[in-house]
Chains A and B, each alone.
Chain A
Amino acid sequence: MALGVRRGQGRNRSSYVFLIPAFLLYSAFVVYPLFTGLTYSFFTWKGTLRDSFAGLDNYAGLLSGAFLDQLLPALGHNALLFAGTMLVQNTLGLAFALALSRVRRGKRALQTMFALPYLVNPLVIGYLWTLLLSPAFGPVNALLKPLGLAMPWLGDPGTALPTVVVITTWQWVGFPMLLFSAALGGIPQEYAEAARTDGAGSWQVLRRITLPLLRPAMATVTILSFIGSMGTFALVYALGGSNGAPAGATDVLGLLFYRTAFASGDVNALGTSSALAVFMFTFIFGSTLLLERVLRRKA
């Protein structure tokens, strides 16, 4: 017995040895940079040299005139992307999932085709659509010209952001579709049958039974869309470069952070961009928590 106990402890202490490699790697390259980034934001910087303790000055700098003029539009564009994603992509995804639940033949093939663009690198998608939508040689305008609808989709500040929404939808619609399909598969047939026996039409079944039961899936889709819309970077970089062309119409927080940190020429770039990073994290994380609470509340 005594032997067993001692042996047991020996085995348990060796557990730490197993943890060491992952612990070191993860602490050094994920946790340490994140927390150091937080401290960076409380100092002024001269290039890469730490200058003096700045308290919240870097954060105040974010709200100063010149920077705020970039921050607000970028944040607004992220918000519009989220709204567009909800309205177009997630509504379509839900509609497709509902329609597909009644399709027998070709369901798998359709699902695969809807979801395939999701596999493609966002950067590739950005460049591909830049070529497809090119005003001079692109096939999209070649097709639309006879209808009188040809226009510089990505070149006009008025249409650029809606075009980004369409491209995002094209890439991601398979994701809400698959999530909603899975959720629909989990709803017992008996519910709808019972309602029909009581005289409910298919519209009523949808409104009173199916949609309320999809609420948890809707919450998940909303939250993931929010995080995705706030973090968008590679796609807009490929479509409009690091300045969010045309005329900053597609500028978003990710691009602004990149420019501030690496291309602003500001002596205090480290301080400002670190403050921006912390602000972005707090904003996204806080909003996500809020969304969680509101959306997952028991109806």
Chain B
Amino acid sequence: MRASIVKVLLWGYAAFSMAPLVVMLLSSFRPTSEIFDQPIGPPSGLGNYVKAWTEASFSTYVVNSAAVVVGAVLLGAVVSLLAAYPLGRREFRGRSMFAAYFISGMTLPAHLGVLPLFYLLESMGLVDSLTGLVLVYAAGSVPFNVFVLTAFFRQLPHELDEAAALDGAGPLATFWHVMLPLVRPALATVVVFQFVPIWNDFFYPLVLMRDETKLTLPVGLTHFFGQFQNDWGTLFAGLVMTTIPLVVLFVLATRQIVAGLTAGMNR
């Protein structure tokens, strides 16, 4: 008896949890006039998506967001990978200092440096530039990446370096031929885990980007909402388009996301 009440409550909340997303999805396939007439109803066509993609600049926003995310995640992963290798595997003077320097960034509120960052980028001609955003995000991803990758490098057996050295491999060859193939799972975690916050980030582009043709999705979305205020069908389609890539990523890479979450949790 009590167990079944608990079950009803749990499934009831699950319905509450899913309902807004279901309404968003359904409404994105309905013309605005129908939505205003009847808030909830069956889907009827793709017109909203065509409109959001062509009339609102969603094509531009999506391409810009994709370019920034890919660029930033790759750059951040590569530089962190290079740094994590000596930090996790070698003895050298200042190692623990460097490790602390990088990893302390996980607790620093990077947003608070946004004004000097703005003027720094301006002096480099990188305000209103996708390259500027890539550099900012890549730099911001360094602490978490270095933290996860250093821990991973440390776990690899020490015989590996010795064997590589006996075979006459220098540090670069050891890194490239021995370490890189082994570190791939951790690299996947880092890449997947950085994707979400960068794709979603609103604050930096809000401050750093003005040019309509260079906007990424989040700021684009704010313009879009002002522009299409009364065209709800198109608005819902835009919301769905912003969300879909993350859902796809989640389905494809649940394992890496969970690994990243736990790595972040135990810090």
Which A residues lie at the B interface, using CB under 8 A?
Answer: 11-16, 18-19, 21-23, 25-26, 28-37, 40, 48, 92, 96, 99-100, 102-103, 106, 109-110, 113-114, 116-117, 119-124, 127-129, 131-132, 137-139, 142, 170, 173, 179, 220, 231, 233-234, 237-238, 258, 261-262, 270, 273-274, 277-278, 280-281, 284-285
Annotate B184-218 by CB proximity to A: 1 below 8 A, 0 otherwise.
Answer: 00000000000010011011001100000000011
Whether A142 pairs with B112 at a CB distance below 8 angstroms is no
Q: With A15-B92, A30-B142, A142-B39 as known contacts, state yes or no: A116 contacts B86, CB within 8 Å.
A: no
Interface of A is mostly: helix
Whether B112 pairs with A280 at a CB distance below 8 angstroms is yes
How far, in whole Å, are A227 and B153 apart by their CA atoms in the complex? 30
- CB within 8 Å of A: which of B62-85? 75, 78-80, 82-83, 85
Query: Can you sample 14 A-B contacts with CB below 8 Å?
Result: A16-B86, A18-B171, A30-B139, A33-B116, A34-B113, A103-B6, A114-B13, A119-B250, A121-B200, A121-B246, A123-B222, A138-B39, A139-B40, A262-B207
Whether A33 pairs with B83 at a CB distance below 8 angstroms is no
B48 within 8 A of A: no
Whether B82 pairs with A18 at a CB distance below 8 angstroms is yes
User: Which residue of chain B has the shortest Cβ distance to A242 in the bound complex?
Assistant: B206
B10 within 8 A of A: yes
In the assembled complex, which residues on chain B have CB atoms less than 8 Å from the CB atom of A31? 105, 108
**Closest chain A CB from B204 CB (angstroms):** 11
Whether A120 pairs with B112 at a CB distance below 8 angstroms is no
Q: With A18-B82, A116-B18 as known contacts, state yes or no: A137 contacts B112, CB within 8 Å.
A: no
B7 within 8 A of A: yes
In the assembled complex, which residues on chain A have CB atoms less than 8 Å from the CB atom of B39? 137-139, 142
- Beyond known contacts A128-B239, A131-B235: 10 more, CB 8 A cutoff: A19-B98, A22-B82, A28-B120, A30-B108, A30-B139, A121-B217, A231-B111, A233-B202, A261-B114, A262-B207
Whether A116 pairs with B139 at a CB distance below 8 angstroms is no
Q: With A25-B138, A132-B20, A233-B203 as known contacts, state yes or no: A34 contacts B108, CB within 8 Å.
A: yes
Whether A121 pairs with B218 at a CB distance below 8 angstroms is yes
Whether B21 pairs with A116 at a CB distance below 8 angstroms is yes
How far, in whole Å, are A190 and B39 apart by their CA atoms in the complex? 52
How far, in whole Å, are A278 and B113 apart by their CA atoms in the complex? 10
**Closest chain A CB from B233 CB (angstroms):** 11
**Closest chain B CB from A93 CB (angstroms):** 11
Whether A170 pairs with B6 at a CB distance below 8 angstroms is no
B23 within 8 A of A: yes
Annotate B16-39 by CB proximity to A: 1 below 8 A, 0 otherwise.
Answer: 111011011000000000011001
How far, in whole Å, are A14 and B113 apart by their CA atoms in the complex? 32
B115 within 8 A of A: yes
In the assembled complex, which residues on chain A have CB atoms less than 8 Å from the CB atom of B232? 131, 137
Q: With A19-B86, A234-B218 as known contacts, state yes or no: A32 contacts B17, CB within 8 Å.
A: no
How far, in whole Å, are A33 and B110 apart by their CA atoms in the complex? 8
Whether B85 pairs with A29 at a CB distance below 8 angstroms is no
Whether B136 pairs with A29 at a CB distance below 8 angstroms is yes
Contact of B139 among A25, A124, A127, A261 (CB under 8 A): A25
User: Which residue of chain B has the shortest Cβ distance to A230 in the bound complex?
Assistant: B109
How far, in whole Å, are A123 and B203 apart by their CA atoms in the complex? 11
**Closest chain A CB from B93 CB (angstroms):** 8
Whether A114 pairs with B116 at a CB distance below 8 angstroms is no
Annotate B155-173 by CB proximity to A: 1 below 8 A, 0 otherwise.
Answer: 0000000000100001110
In the assembled complex, which residues on chain A have CB atoms less than 8 Å from the CB atom of B265? 179, 220
Whether B17 pairs with A117 at a CB distance below 8 angstroms is yes
Whether A11 pairs with B142 at a CB distance below 8 angstroms is no
Whether B225 pairs with A21 at a CB distance below 8 angstroms is no
The 3 closest A-B pairs by CB, nearest first: A33-B113, A139-B39, A29-B139
Q: With A30-B110, A30-B139, A137-B39 as known contacts, state yes or no: A110 contacts B11, CB within 8 Å.
A: yes
Whether A113 pairs with B17 at a CB distance below 8 angstroms is yes
